[in-house]
Amino acid sequence: MSAVLESLPVQLAGPLDITPLAVRIGAEVRGLRLSGDLDAQTVAQLRAALLRHRVLFFKGQQHLDDASHQAFGRLWGEIEAHPTVPAPDGTRFLELDSRHGGRADSWHTDVTFKAAPPKACILRAVVLPPHGGDTVWANTVAAYEGLPAPLKALADELWAVHGNDYDYADPRQQTTASAAEIAGRAAYRATFRRTVIEAEHPVVHVHPETGERALLLGHFAKRLNLLRQQESSALLELLHQRIVALENTVRWRWSEGDVAIWDNRATQHYAINDYGDQHRVVRRVTVTGEHTTAIDGRRSIDRTAVSV
């Protein structure tokens, strides 16, 4: 754990029951009924816990509907719709419906193709398959802190271009996918990338609240600036493997009524696609973030969106 977070209390004074799930990432908050009416002290406790544990899980939240889910999200800041995927009527959600290609089965930090990626995301299970469909999160601060000094020095200098036009259709996955899944993925991919959006981010950015350094990569990172494609691909894979080392991860098995919230500035995540044609629907509230900042103070760059 970083020196910055060692100074934070595990739990502030108050009623919250916070149980860590692993040393590096993940905690369950028990006995709290989520809503948009939580008092300021409880919200402050949750914010501190999220900075410490990176992702928080809440069971027994079946009472949440679309309105109260969004109201809870607004306690964390302004909420925003996805820039290309239409939200369900009357909401600002990103809905991932497995029957329509919504299977986020690739390691990513959300919406890094924007110069100001989300600050936090709040995911609610709506329809769950009888088995499978777990989600895994990785701690990108721990990944950076675990790099040997020569790799840290290299990563500190690198910038990457992120875009929403990454290659969704991994041929290795298509060999076992049904015709309906393949068609759904193709349709979702077309919607997701109907407007190409790009941003340049430092590979190592400074967390705006804790001052920690974290790796900012994931599947939206298309290439590293100033490097040949082969060099870029090799370095991206090397750093990716550091991020997703099992010691940096926590896995959540969803149950009805579960909610997860994660610090998008310090994590990546992966929705495991191991439930075949069974139905899975989750809805995500996205909390608006800010431009990323490199260790030398330079800010992320918004590249011009190009219609396709």
- The catalytically annotated residue of 110, 162, 213, 258 is 110
Long-range contacts of 169-176, Cβ-Cβ distance < 8 Å, separation of 24 or more: 170/106, 173/105, 173/273
Catalytic residue among 69, 108, 205, 213: 108
**Contact between 119 and 288 (Cβ < 8 Å):** yes
Residue in 103, 269, 280, 283 annotated catalytic: 269
Task: Compute the CA torsion angle 273, 135, 221, 206 (nearest 10 deg).
Answer: 180
284 is catalytic: yes
**Token digits of residue 170:** 């991994």
**Which of these is catalytic: 185, 207, 280, 284?**
284
Enumerate residues 6+ apart whose C-beta is below 8 A from 139: 24, 25, 54, 248, 249, 266, 267
Residue 1: strand, helix, or coil = coil
> What is the residue-wise DSSP string for 185-230?
HHHHHHHHTSEEEEEEEESEEE-TTT--EEE--BTTEEEETTS-HH
Nearest to 217 by CA among 199, 206, 229, 201: 201
Task: Give 114-142 as a DSSP string.
Answer: SSS--SEEEEEEEE--SS---EEEEEHHH
Helix (H, G, I), strand (E, B), or coil: what is residue 55?
strand
131 annotated active-site:
no
Residue 91 tokens read as 């909401």
Q: What residues have CB less than 8 Å from 291, skipping those under 6 apart?
A: 115, 116, 299, 300
Residue 269 is among the residues annotated as catalytic for this protein: yes
Active site residue 108: yes
Query: How would you class 158 by CB atoms within 10 Å of its CB: exposed for 0-12, middle for 13-18, buried for 19 or more?
Result: buried
Query: Could you tell me if 293 and 208 are in contact, meaning their C-beta atoms sit under 8 angstroms apart?
Result: yes
| Pair of tokens at residue 163 | 């875009």
Kindly list the catalytic residues: 108, 110, 269, 284
